[in-house]
Amino acid sequence: MTAAVVKPPGMLTESEAAEELARLGPAIAHHDDLYYNRSAPEISDADYDDLRRRNALIEARFPTLARSDSPSRRLGAPVGGGFRKVRHAQAMLSLDNAFAHADVVEFVARVRRFLGLAETEPVALVAEPKIDGLSASLRYQAGRLVLGATRGDGREGEDITANLRTLDDVPEVLAGTRFPDVIEIRGEVYMTKVDFAALNDARVGAGESPFANPRNAAAGSLRQLDPQITATRPLHFFAYAWGEVGAPGNTFSLGENLWGARARLGSLGFTLNEPAILSADLDEILAYYDDIAARRAQFPFDLDGVVYKVDRLDWQQRLGAVSRSPRWAIAHKFPAEQAKTVLKAITVQVGRTGALTPVAQLEPVTVGGVVVQRATLHNEDEIARKDIHPGDLVVVQRAGDVIPQVVSVDPDQRRADAKPFRFPDRCPVCDSLAIREVGETVRRCTGGLICEAQAVERLRHFVSRDAFDIEGLGEKQIAAFWADGLVRSPADLFRLAARAEDIAAREGWGETSVANLLAAIAERRTIPLDRFVYALGIRQVGQTTARLLARNYLSLKALRAALESAADETGEAYQALVGIDGIGPKVAADLAGFFAEPHNLSVLDDLADPDYGVRVEDFTAPENASPVAGKTVVFTGTLAATSRAEAKAQALGLGAKVAGSVSARTDYLVAGAEAGSKLAKARAAGVTVLTEDEWRNLIGIGS
Ligand code: IVH
């Protein structure tokens, strides 16, 4: 780069910055169009990334100049360096897990209840092996591969098209002559066990570090910035699902059943997970599972379970998804793998809510293909119950992606001088008193904001993937920034642009990494309300609750006002809060508690400061707004056409709010058969009462 021509963003005057932003916006839009819509980019990815990074850096310096048409406000925005981010046309979901046969029985029962099926109605399932790799999405337009992406957080992944193109199992052009104008194929990228061993041998021979397992090897190979390297790695792809399917250009249809759809994916040129079965007989399904589990080692690739999916696609549609998992599928995992090792010591970690968690420090041991050195011990009662002493020989287990656990100890192997572990009653980080409230299993540090561990953990949560999703800020960096006073509260992150030189002067940071970090922060300045609420790290408020709150209060302003008022448990705001279906008194207490703390409110004020502030987007109901979007609905009595669960899910899907009890805020009470006190209350309060049919007509699914 010719430094004389391009001024660093930090040296631009305000008017120069404004001029440059006005030029960069349309230029980036032009290149996006060439890339996404015409597949004919004019500049290299690196040059493109430079444009975006510069735009973000200038915005970081002059936030008030950020234009409404800024690329950082558009979707598909890449974070500086690495791969371009892409938004999935349809979310890539993950699966709920079943471990015991009984969990599978319950899964089918749940499907029946949701759909309101009679006991006698068969529920056919497709069962397939579950491959332990990483998922990818392939988008075909007019039968040609135009985009290949990683799953990412499910909504947004990374553009790894060039790398996926190098796989033999990924057709460049769909087979046959019939396909929709757009189709996204989802599947798993994996490496066989034999190829994995050979790759590791070669790496060790070349003085490189080996991969821990085939899954990591596949992930590492796929995430190469240079597709030439990916091309040398033996990767494979199995297709098991699809995302967006556009207009059926020439009479292509996936049909009405998964079993048939699978075969059609095969005829488009994809390899499928085999052996698969279709059966409505649960005994047969479970026998299939037992058979695959018994033959697991003989498969050429790693399996971690089998997947069951409801065969009827119309039922899949009705079942929909909750949070990130479809209600129509479940992964039946193989039993956890176990190994024995020595417990070297027990350390105590402090989480963002002050909870003290004991952690087992282990002699490294391989469990199910992964080296384990640490495992959770849950809490002090668990240590006592399992009679765990430091120095013991312990059994460690790993199931899927869950954190390894210590299952049991072998007391016969214990040394005579072994002493039981004494759980500290002071915070190991800030030395404040750590107390255990009556009825609680968890001991908590009372240090609050003065406790570094809590502060750092809160910041970590704030920038984590499902919250602000700021890349390049891991535990180490945050701890170091905190220790130096560079970042003490969330708002400080958005002031970092002014400290670029201080950061660059630190060990491990160069100009590029600082630029990338600042660009990543600048790109995340605008955030949807639900993510923002989740980022606050309020106790018990996970993504689902955060989404419920966003949907119910719509704007940060309204949410804050309501939750500040909710401290009064006799007041209307509190009643409205616990009236939200899915929010009970315990969560309500934590929410009210959070918004009653002056220091939490000052964090919110700080973040909202327009000079370096965060823009929290109001919750918007799903597109093609329905007449019930934004309305509060209560269901009561027995419904005939659907189960209560399905009716609620439909209402939520249309942007309505579902409450558990009738209040002055209720817009509709939908009364099924044998409605009782809620109906009486609604009538008394003058709430509109609908029959089930009237409701179904209103939402446009009546007969
Ligand atoms: S179906 C919406 N089928 O397992 C459901 N997933 O733990 C899409 N996986 O994210 C998933 N083999 O990466 C499905 N036969 C199979 C699978 C499979 C492996 C992966 C997939 C998914 C993860 C969930």
Domain termination site, one of 384, 413, 442: 413
pLDDT in tens, 101-154: 999 999 999 999 999 998 889 999 999 999 999 999 999 998 899 999 999 889
Which of the listed residues 97, 307, 313 should we mutate to test ligand 1's pocket, taking the one with most ligand atoms within 8 A of CB? 307
Q: Would the pLDDT of 339 be above 50?
A: yes
- Atom 10 in ligand 1: residue holding the nearest Cα: 94
Q: Where are the alpha helices (DSSP H) in 123-166?
A: 161-164
DSSP 657-693: EEESS--TT--EEEE-BT--HHHHHHHHHT-EEEEHH
Do 587 and 470 fall into the same domain? no
pLDDT tens digits, residue range 149-184?
Answer: 999 889 899 999 999 999 999 998 998 878 888 999
Residue 135 in tokens: 């998922």
This prediction's pTM: 0.67
Instruction: Please tell me the distance between residue 285's alpha carbon and the centre of ligand 1 in angstroms.
Output: 18
Phi and psi, residue 310, nearest 5°: -60, 130
Q: What is the CATH number for 563?
A: 1.10.150.20
Is the distance from the beta carbon of residue 265 to the nearest atom of ligand 1 less than 6 Å? no
Q: Which two tokens stand for residue 181?
A: 């104008």
Distance 132 CA to ligand 1 centre (A): 9
- Please state the atom number of ligand 1 nearest to the C-alpha of residue 128: 15
Q: Does residue 559 share a domain with residue 456? A: no
Task: Tell whether ligand 1 has an atom less than 6 A from the beta carbon of residue 128.
Answer: yes
Same domain, 505 and 534: no
Residue 1 has pLDDT above 50, yes or no: no
DSSP 385-439: HTT--TT-EEEEEE-TTSPPEEEEE-GGG--TT-------SB-TTT--BEE--TT
pLDDT of residue 76: 33
Residue 39: per-residue pLDDT = 53
Q: What is the mean pLDDT of residues 457-470?
A: 92
Probe target for ligand 1 pocket from 150, 155, 240, with the most ligand atoms within 8 Å of CB: 240
The answer to whether the beta carbons of residues 411 and 429 sit under 8 Å apart is no
Instruction: Give pLDDT tens digits for 587-645.
Output: 999 999 999 988 889 999 999 888 778 999 998 866 566 888 888 999 999 998 888 88
Question: Do residues 317 and 404 share a domain?
Answer: no
Percent of the chain residues past pLDDT 70, beyond the cut: 93
CA dihedral angle for residue 74, residue 75, residue 81, residue 82, rounded to 10 degrees? -170
Based on the fold, state whether residues 90 and 125 are members of the same structural domain. yes
Q: Is the C-alpha dihedral spanning 630, 635, 641, 647 positive or negative? A: positive
Beta strands 668-671; 632-636: pairing state: parallel
| Ligand 1 center to 95 CA (angstroms) | 7
Assess whether 130 carries a catalytic annotation: yes
State whether the beta carbon of 276 lies less than 6 angstroms from ligand 1. no
Query: pLDDT digits over 276-304, tens only?
Result: 999 999 999 999 999 999 998 889 999 99
Count of C-beta atoms within a 10 Å radius of residue 409: 18
**Position in ligand 1 atom list of the atom nearest CA 95:** 24
Q: Which of 96, 130, 325, 333 maximizes ligand 1 atoms within 8 Å of its Cβ, making it the mutation to test the pocket?
A: 130
Q: Are residues 374 and 323 in the same domain?
A: no
Give the tens place of pLDDT for each residue, 548-577.
Answer: 999 899 999 999 999 999 999 999 999 999
93 lines ligand 1 (CB under 6 A): yes
Compute, in angstroms, the gap from residue 94 CA to the centroid of ligand 1: 6
* pLDDT score at 36: 54
| Residue 581 CB–ligand 1 contact under 6 Å | no
Q: Is residue 182 part of a domain?
A: yes
Are residue 568 and residue 599 in the same domain, yes or no? yes
User: Relative to the CA of 130, which ligand 1 atom is closest?
Assistant: 12
Write phi, then psi, for 663 (nearest 5 degrees): -145, -175
Q: 136: Cβ below 6 Å to ligand 1?
A: no
Tokens of 142: 């007019």
> Residue 312's pLDDT band (boundaries 50, 70, 90)?
very high
Contact 648, 635 (CB under 8 A): yes
190: Cβ below 6 Å to ligand 1? no
Cβ(241) to ligand 1 under 6 A? yes
The Å distance, Cα 543 to ligand 1 centre, comes to 21
**Domain final residue, candidates 333, 352, 372:** 333
Residues 307 and 93: their CA atoms lie apart, in Å, by: 14
Q: Are residues 532 and 513 in the same domain?
A: no
Instruction: State the closest ligand 1 atom to the C-alpha of 135, by its place in the atom list counted from 1.
Output: 13
- Classify residue 584: in a domain, yes or no: yes
Task: Say if ligand 1 is within 6 A of residue 94 CB.
Answer: yes
Q: Residue 130: CB within 6 Å of ligand 1?
A: yes
**CA 69 to ligand 1 centroid distance, Å:** 37
Calculate mean pLDDT across residues 211-237: 89
Q: Is the pLDDT of residue 498 over 90?
A: no
Q: Do 89 and 246 meet the contact criterion of CB atoms below 8 Å apart?
A: no
617, 627 in Cβ contact below 8 A?
Answer: no
Does residue 135's CB lie within 6 angstroms of at least one atom of ligand 1? yes
Token reading at 128: 């397939």
Report CA 249 to chain centroid distance, whole Å: 33
Q: Of all protein residues, whose CA lies closest to atom 9 belonging to ligand 1?
A: 130
> Looking at the structure, do residues 340 and 329 belong to the same domain, yes or no?
no
Percent of the chain with pLDDT over 90: 51
Establish if 254 belongs to a structural domain.
yes
Look up the CATH number of the domain holding residue 22.
2.40.50.140
Asked whether residue 75 is assigned to any structural domain, the reply reads no
For residue 321, give the ligand 1 atom closest to its CA: 2
Number of domains comprising the chain: 5
Ramachandran bin of 116, using left for φ above 0, alpha for ψ from -120 to 50, beta for the remaining angles: left
Question: Which atom of ligand 1 lies nearest, measured to the CA of 240?
Answer: 3
Give the mean pLDDT of 364-383: 87
Structural domain includes residue 432? no
Domain holding 49, by residue range, is 9-69+336-413
Q: What is the CATH number of the domain that holds 131?
A: 3.30.470.30
Containing 140, the helix (H) or strand (E) segment is strand 134-141
Residue with CA closest to ligand 1 atom 17: 130
Considering Cα of 110, then 115, then 118, then 121, what sign does the dihedral take?
A: negative
Question: The domain that contains 685 carries what CATH number?
Answer: 3.40.50.10190
Mean residue pLDDT across the chain: 88
Q: Return the half-sphere exposure (C-beta side, CA atoms, 13 A cut-off) of residue 476.
A: 5
Q: Is residue 55 part of a domain?
A: yes
Task: Give dist(CA 156, CA 462) in Å, integer.
Answer: 18
Query: Does residue 273 have its Cβ closer than 6 Å to ligand 1?
Result: yes
Q: 35: Cβ below 6 Å to ligand 1?
A: no
Residue 487 phi, psi (nearest 5): -135, 110
CA–CA gap between residue 544 and residue 582 (Å, rounded): 9
Instruction: Report if residue 4 sits inside a domain.
Output: no
Report the half-sphere exposure of 237 (CA within 13 A, side-chain side).
25
Q: Which residues lie closer than 8 Å to 373 by C-beta, 6 or more apart?
A: 361, 362, 364
Nearest atom in ligand 1 to the alpha carbon of residue 97 is 7
Catalytic residue among 85, 130, 333, 678: 130
Q: Among 126, 134, 135, 301, say which to mutate for ligand 1: greatest number of ligand atoms within 8 Å of CB.
A: 135
Rounded distance from Cα 131 to ligand 1 centre (Å): 8
Whether 205 is covered by a domain: the verdict is yes
Domain closes at, from 574, 593, 617:
617
Residue 60 has pLDDT above 80, yes or no: no
Radius of gyration (C-alpha) of the chain in whole angstroms: 27
Nearest CA to 331 out of 66, 99, 10, 645 is that of 99
> In this predicted structure, what is the pLDDT of residue 228?
86
Task: Indicate whether 201 and 283 sit together in one domain.
Answer: yes
Within this chain, do residues 404 and 505 fall inside the same structural domain, yes or no?
no
CA 241 to ligand 1 centroid distance, Å: 8
Question: Does residue 160 line the site of ligand 1, with CB under 6 A?
Answer: no
pLDDT at 11: 79
Distance of CA 466 from the midpoint of ligand 1 (Å): 20
Looking at the structure, tell me whether residues 471 and 342 fall in a common domain.
Answer: no
**pLDDT tens digits along 13-47:** 888 888 888 888 888 888 766 655 555 667 776 67
Question: Could you give the CA distance from residue 129 to residue 277 in angstroms, rounded to a whole number?
Answer: 10
DSSP codes, 189-213: EE--HHHHHHHHHHHHHTTPPPPSS
- The minimum-distance atom of ligand 1 relative to the CA of 273 is 15
Q: What's the half-sphere exposure (Cβ side, CA atoms, 13 Å) at 406?
A: 34
* Single-letter amino acid, residue 126: V
Residues 670 and 662: their CA atoms lie apart, in Å, by 11
Long-range contacts of 68-73, Cβ-Cβ distance < 8 Å, separation of 24 or more? 69/25, 69/29, 70/21, 70/25, 71/24, 71/25, 71/28, 71/29, 71/32, 72/522, 72/523, 72/525, 72/526, 73/526
Closest-CA residue, ligand 1 atom 14, reads 240
CA-CA-CA-CA torsion for 617, 623, 628, 631, nearest 10 degrees?
Answer: 0
